């Protein structure tokens, strides 16, 4: 089944971007298939509703002229006949044509063929001159039904010096169906009517502004392969957040095209680990801007492959020689970081410290040495502490015994230890005792204190 979609063509007749006038030609499909149901109304009613709302928003826009061409509305299509010449400029370009277009749209009834190619070809003559910024927005529910090939017409227009750059916005479309328009240009899809209206609004904004941007998050080779990260765009020098987006690589393998206000400068925050800031970014009007940001990234994973004790370690990650915590990462998780050197503190007993290198697109594995188990029992409740023996009579605190308990269990890293304790009920330091012990990986040591 065919679904409703819009195509935006930018037709540049040798224009220079210094011209102020913008012209948008709406081409409305009134073919018979537009009478099929869509979202509790017919496709025709939905298209008319969206078009009427869209042109209303263009009322009073300075230096803008809009026109309307319709096809499939003059001749009935039958099983044996379709009028492939059924295309007509109903409202030509002029100032203040919003009312005329809305009035004409309300009277249109869907009944004919789908001569997309002929409408596209005829539309080249609908524009009064080649000096303005000229756009075409085609509203249709399906593929060409006549003999002409829209791809061939698009090529002919290009050969004549008319640059055609369409944007297909499909609603609930099978992408294999949309691929039929790839010969003309790129496309987007929306999953709901509300989403479709948002996309259409963006398309019209793009026609009016004709200023677009893409944010390249470059890898170590300066290729824009990094993605899937939240980006904030603030008005430069302020905390006025203008745009929030999840960076996306589109289906053509390029960073997605953004429609941004070219009258502002931006402070851009890329929420990588650590975050990247690029300040005071200006856009050049009436062109496609590429914002280059170096963001090469790799991964860190925390594991303990030989550990039979089912550990659940966390670790603290910070930049090399920076005490501030950058991230707290859980056991067996994989986290992305900018390429560079990091200090990690793993919450083993005692703590494990490492310095690691993150490289482009590689996963740096931190494999923690398997721990052992220390069990103690006593005839009376104890107070005390466990220390790791660092050698040369140097000891580092590891943990306290549970106050007043007769037994305890601790998971410790391999090494030499000393437990210093006394019975809690004893009131003299003379009852202090100590015991040295050794922990080995995946071994359990039982001691009677």
Contacts by 78-84 with C-beta closer than 8 Å and gap 24+?
82/112, 82/113, 82/145, 82/146, 83/112, 83/113, 84/113, 84/115, 84/118, 84/145, 84/146, 84/147, 84/148
The answer, yes or no, to whether residue 139 has pLDDT greater than 50, is yes
Q: Residue 352 has which token pair?
A: 């494990």
Assign domain 5-209 one CATH number from 3.40.50.280, 3.30.559.10, 3.40.50.410, 3.40.640.10.
Answer: 3.40.50.410
At residue 279, the 3 state secondary structure works out as strand
- Cis-peptide into 274, omega within 30 deg: yes
Contacts by 92-97 with C-beta closer than 8 Å and gap 24+?
92/67, 92/126, 93/23, 93/25, 93/65, 93/66, 93/67, 93/126, 93/127, 93/128, 94/65, 94/67, 95/65, 97/65, 97/66, 97/67, 97/68
Higher pLDDT, 66 or 8: 66
Laid out side by side, the sheet with 5-13 consists of 87-91, 64-71, 22-29, 133-140, 5-13, 162-171, 186-190
pLDDT digits (tens, 9 = 90+) for 377-430: 999 999 999 999 999 999 999 999 999 999 999 999 999 999 999 999 999 999
Q: Residue 238 has which token pair?
A: 């302020």
pLDDT digits (tens, 9 = 90+) for 370-380: 999 999 999 99
pTM: 0.62
Q: Which pLDDT band holds residue 160 (cuts at 50, 70, 90)?
A: low
Residue 206 CB neighbours (<10 A): 18
Q: Which pLDDT band holds residue 18 (cuts at 50, 70, 90)?
A: very low
Query: What integer pLDDT is reported at residue 105 of this predicted model?
Result: 96
Going by CATH, does the domain composed of 372-448 fall within 2.40.30.10?
Answer: no
The answer, yes or no, to whether residue 444 has pLDDT greater than 50, is yes
Phi, psi for residue 121 in degrees, rounded to 5 = -65, -45
Alpha helices in 58-192 (DSSP H): 98-107, 116-123, 150-159, 175-178
| Most confident listed range (33-37, 82-86, 187-191, 437-441) | 437-441
At residue 197, the 3 state secondary structure works out as helix
User: CA 204, CA 168: separation in Å to the nearest integer?
Assistant: 13
Higher pLDDT, 334 or 308: 334
Instruction: Name which of 95, 96, 130 is nearest 19 in CA terms.
Output: 130
Query: What integer pLDDT is reported at residue 322 of this predicted model?
Result: 94
Cα dihedral 320, 279, 198, 106 in deg (nearest 10): -170
DSSP states of 30-88: -BGGGGSEETTEEHHHHHHHHHHHHHHTTTT-TTEEEEEEEESSSS---SS---TT-EE
Report the CATH number of the 212-294 domain.
2.60.40.1120
Instruction: Name which of 272, 264, 299 is nearest 217 in CA terms.
Output: 272
Q: Which pLDDT band holds residue 158 (cuts at 50, 70, 90)?
A: low
Query: What integer pLDDT is reported at residue 170 of this predicted model?
Result: 53
Instruction: Name which of 353, 270, 364, 365 is nearest 318 in CA terms.
Output: 353
Residue 432 CB neighbours (<10 A): 11
User: CA 263, CA 205: separation in Å to the nearest integer?
Assistant: 14
The answer, yes or no, to whether residue 192 has pLDDT greater than 70, is no
Pairing of strands 314-319, 340-346: antiparallel
Q: Which pLDDT band holds residue 209 (cuts at 50, 70, 90)?
A: low
Query: DSSP class of residue 247?
Result: -
Query: What integer pLDDT is reported at residue 171 of this predicted model?
Result: 45
Query: What integer pLDDT is reported at residue 372 of this predicted model?
Result: 95
Enumerate the CATH 3.40.50.410 domain ranges in the chain, comma separated.
Answer: 5-209
Class for the domain spanning 297-367: mainly beta
- Quote the percentage of the chain above a pLDDT of 70: 83
The answer, yes or no, to whether residue 299 has pLDDT greater than 80, is yes
Place of tokens 């589109």: 250
Query: What integer pLDDT is reported at residue 77 of this predicted model?
Result: 87
User: CA 269, CA 292: separation in Å to the nearest integer?
Assistant: 13
Phi, psi for residue 172 in degrees, rounded to 5 = 65, 30
Enumerate the CATH 2.60.40.1120 domain ranges in the chain, comma separated.
Answer: 212-294, 297-367, 372-448
Q: Which pLDDT band holds residue 164 (cuts at 50, 70, 90)?
A: very low
Residue 290 CB neighbours (<10 A): 13
Query: What integer pLDDT is reported at residue 422 of this predicted model?
Result: 95
33 within 8 A of 114, measured Cβ to Cβ: yes
Query: What integer pLDDT is reported at residue 290 of this predicted model?
Result: 95
Q: Residue 250 has which token pair?
A: 């589109």
Instruction: Name which of 330, 334, 325, 363 is nearest 347 in CA terms.
Output: 330
Query: What integer pLDDT is reported at residue 161 of this predicted model?
Result: 53
SS3 content of the chain, % helix, strand, coil (to 5): 15, 45, 40
Please give the average per-residue pLDDT across 60-69, as a whole number: 89
Q: Which pLDDT band holds residue 166 (cuts at 50, 70, 90)?
A: low
């Amino acid at each position: 089944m065919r679904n409703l979609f819009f195509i935006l063509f930018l037709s540049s007749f040798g224009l220079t971007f210094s011209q102020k006038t913008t012209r948008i030609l709406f081409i409305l499909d009134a073919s018979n298939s537009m009478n099929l149901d869509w979202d509790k109304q017919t496709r025709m009613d939905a298209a008319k509703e969206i078009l009427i709302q869209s042109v209303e928003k263009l009322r009073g826009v300075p230096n803008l002229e809009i026109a309307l061409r319709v096809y499939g509305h003059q001749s009935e299509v039958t099983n044996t006949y379709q009028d492939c010449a059924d295309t007509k400029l109903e409202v030509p370009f002029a100032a203040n044509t919003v009312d005329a277009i809305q009035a004409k749209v309300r009277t249109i009834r869907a009944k004919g063929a789908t001569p997309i190619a002929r409408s596209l070809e005829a539309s080249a003559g609908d524009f009064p001159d080649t000096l303005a910024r000229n756009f075409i927005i085609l509203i249709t529910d399906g593929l060409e039904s006549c003999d002409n090939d829209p791809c061939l017409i698009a090529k002919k227009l290009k050969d004549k010096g008319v640059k055609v750059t369409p944007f297909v916005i499909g609603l609930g479309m099978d992408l294999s169906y949309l691929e039929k328009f790839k010969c003309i240009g790129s496309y987007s899809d929306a999953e709901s009517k509300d989403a479709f209206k948002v996309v259409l609004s963006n398309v019209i904004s793009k026609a009016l502004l004709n200023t677009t941007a893409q944010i390249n998050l470059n890898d170590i080779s300066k290729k824009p392969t990094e993605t899937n990260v939240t980006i904030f765009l603030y008005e430069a020098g302020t905390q006025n957040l203008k745009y929030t987006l999840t960076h996306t690589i589109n289906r053509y393998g390029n960073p997605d095209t953004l429609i941004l206000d070219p009258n502002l400068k931006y402070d851009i925050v890329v929420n990588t680990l650590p975050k990247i800031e690029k300040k005071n970014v200006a856009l050049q009007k009436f062109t496609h801007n590429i914002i280059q940001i170096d963001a090469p990234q790799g991964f860190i994973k925390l594991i303990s492959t030989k550990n039979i004790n089912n550990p659940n370690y966390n670790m603290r990650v910070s930049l090399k020689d920076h005490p501030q915590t950058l991230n707290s990462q859980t056991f067996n998780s994989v986290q992305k970081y900018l390429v560079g050197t990091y200090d990690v503190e793993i919450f083993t007993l005692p703590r494990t410290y490492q310095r690691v290198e993150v490289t482009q697109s590689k996963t740096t594995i931190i494999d923690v040495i398997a721990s052992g188990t220390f069990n103690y029992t006593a005839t009376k409740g104890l107070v005390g502490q466990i220390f790791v023996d660092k050698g040369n009579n140097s000891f580092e605190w590891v943990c306290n015994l549970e106050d007043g308990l007769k037994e305890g269990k601790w998971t410790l890293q391999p090494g030499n230890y000393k437990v210093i304790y006394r019975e809690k009920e004893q009131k003299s330091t003379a009852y202090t005792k100590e015991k040295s012990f050794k922990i080995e990986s995946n071994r359990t040591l039982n001691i009677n204190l």
